[in-house]
Structure 1
Amino acid sequence: MLAVLALRAGQTVYYNELADELWPGEFLKNPRNAIQAQATRIRKTIEGCIQRTEESAALRPVYNGYILDISRDAVDTNRFLDLTMRGNNDLALEPARALRSLRQGLQLWRGPALLNTRTGEQCRSAAAFLDERRMLANEDLMSAHLLLGDNRKAVAELQTLVAAYPSRERLCELLMLALYRTGRQAEAIHVFHRIRQRLDAELGVVPGRELARLYQKILIQDSSLDSATAVLSRPEVCSGV
């Protein structure tokens, strides 16, 4: 319940929405009483954590629902989205500043998005969105390292990310580029063949155009691979929740 209210901080969340999220597919004789009991527990928890007494009424009952009446930036998901969008916007012209914003945003994570809240549609959709934005932020962070010439650090971090997400083509692209820039052309080629085999075996598809183009450029040692353009050739991410 707190997750749903926090995702929509400052907005009314109605009883029927909360019931659908908390007990999807179930029939409760009196869901409003159950929700009110949860609200009491949440309010006590908030009052035990707050720094300012005027926030004691942060969870307010309104007609047919509740509002979590807090500022937008009091919610970690919003801070994460703002910081990583700022990093994405700064990436091309201010990679050092982008790296700082992306690091700050990613440091807000403590585990999977909305852990243990994914039974309802709102939390499940938000979690999928946030997990994808986390991946994009990691890709932007690795791009920032490459733009700053920190290729060896990028290799080390990308190897960990690719091991965790072996079918993520953008991560493999960045790892191939980082390996190539550190004089490890053969390893970069091996990364391509490894993901090509995995995509064929698991999904029956071939590598995407960008990955295949990068592979060809590595084979011929194309001079453009040392440019910023080689790092930035990717679609922009969307903003907002």
Structure 2
Amino acid sequence: MLYDEGLAAQPGRLTVQLLGPVRLGARQADIILPPKVRQVLAVLALRSGSVVTHNTLITELWGENPPRSATTTMQTYIYQLRQAVNQLGDDGQEFDALRTVSPGYALKGESIEIDIDRFRALIKRARVHLHDSPELTISLTRQALQLVRGDPLMDITLGQALIGSAVRLREEIMNTRQLVIDAEIRLERYSEVIGELYELCTRYPLREWFYYHLIDVLTRTGRRAEALAIYADLSRRLRSELGVDPSQPLKRLYLQILNGDERSELTVFR
């Protein structure tokens, strides 16, 4: 497998995992924090390097009507998080990662690694090589997807500061799955991606991009009737659930298949 050592996780660092259950760890060991402390950790990690104000944390935890004890309780959560961070240090040496910076707190430092940062670094590099080295794109993209352990932030309550971030992360993961399929198709690995595309169509039942490419590669591999059946099923689902017809690219693909047009060039769906 092609691998970029510069993007590998470094040993002896504090890790924050957000692409799935929220976890704090080091040296291959995770600490499962209380739910509210995990929520605070997620807000700080998503804004790593920036100051998160007291008001932002209070609004995230309790919305627009916080209790009178909100400030004190929030500070207790910060204390618990700081204790957990310090607990993960080597031989009594504390991680200098969670800092008090007026008017709030910041999670930063050379000793911390956040899975989202590594995920995005891998994908940025993968996109650069899509045209000149699809093999490298596939390797980097699949390394990024190995960091995904479930739905982002899946085990915490999502307040105002986190709900938009969770939506964005889900979209980034879905786009990453598209990127690896795109690279595989550029290498004409049609038969190899059919199973993966079926799985993705099930996972994202209204995402036309995955259906388009499943229908396309089925046709390229001689499974025309199967491709047409999938189009018909998707068309019924879109009308039933959303009241819309398939997009124009899908309709054109459908007509090409019906008319028996040659499909020798890479198709494009944007």
Displacement, 1:50? 4.4
Q: Does 1:227 align with 2:269?
A: no
Which has the higher relative contact order, 1 or 2, with Cα contacts under 8 A spaced 6 or more apart? 2
Q: Given the two structures, how large is their TM-score scaled by the length of structure 1?
A: 0.88
Look up the match of 1:129: 168
Q: Does 1:79 align with 2:125?
A: no
Task: Deviation per CA, 1:107-166: give whole Å up to 9, x if none.
Answer: 101111111334312211010001011111111111211111221220011111112222
Residues 95 and 221 of structure 1, relative CA distance in 2, 3 Å threshold: farther
Residues 156 and 122 of structure 1, relative CA distance in 2, 3 Å threshold: same
How many Å separate the matches in 1 of 2:111 and 2:251?
A: 42
Partner amino acid for 2:225? Answer: A
Residues 206 and 9 of structure 1, relative CA distance in 2, 3 Å threshold: same
Look up the match of 2:25: none
SS in 1 for 2:95: helix
Task: Deviation per CA, 1:54-111: give whole Å up to 9, x if none.
Answer: 7622101111210101359811112212222332332233211111111011110111
Unaligned runs of 5+ in 2: 1-39
Give structure 1 regions of 4+ aligned residues with deviation exceeding 6 angstroms.
none
Identity of aligned residues (%): 33
Residues 48 and 54 of structure 1, relative CA distance in 2, 3 Å threshold: closer
Partner amino acid for 1:57? Answer: D
Residues 4 and 146 of structure 1, relative CA distance in 2, 3 Å threshold: same
SS in 2 for 1:66: strand
How many Å separate the matches in 2 of 1:205 and 1:72?
A: 50
Residues 66 and 143 of structure 1, relative CA distance in 2, 3 Å threshold: same
Look up the match of 2:249: 210
Partner amino acid for 2:264? Answer: D
SS in 2 for 1:117: coil
1:155 to 179, 182, 194: 194
Matches within 5 A, 1:81-230: 81-223=120-262, 225-228=263-266, 230=267
Question: In the comparison of the two structures, how many residue pairs are matched?
Answer: 231
Unaligned runs of 5+ in 1: 236-241
Contact conserved, 1:95 with 1:148, CA < 8 A, in 2? yes
How many Å separate the matches in 2 of 1:70 and 1:9?
A: 9
SS in 2 for 1:67: strand
Contact conserved, 2:218 with 2:224, CA < 8 A, in 1? yes
Residues 67 and 146 of structure 1, relative CA distance in 2, 3 Å threshold: same
Look up the match of 2:59: 20
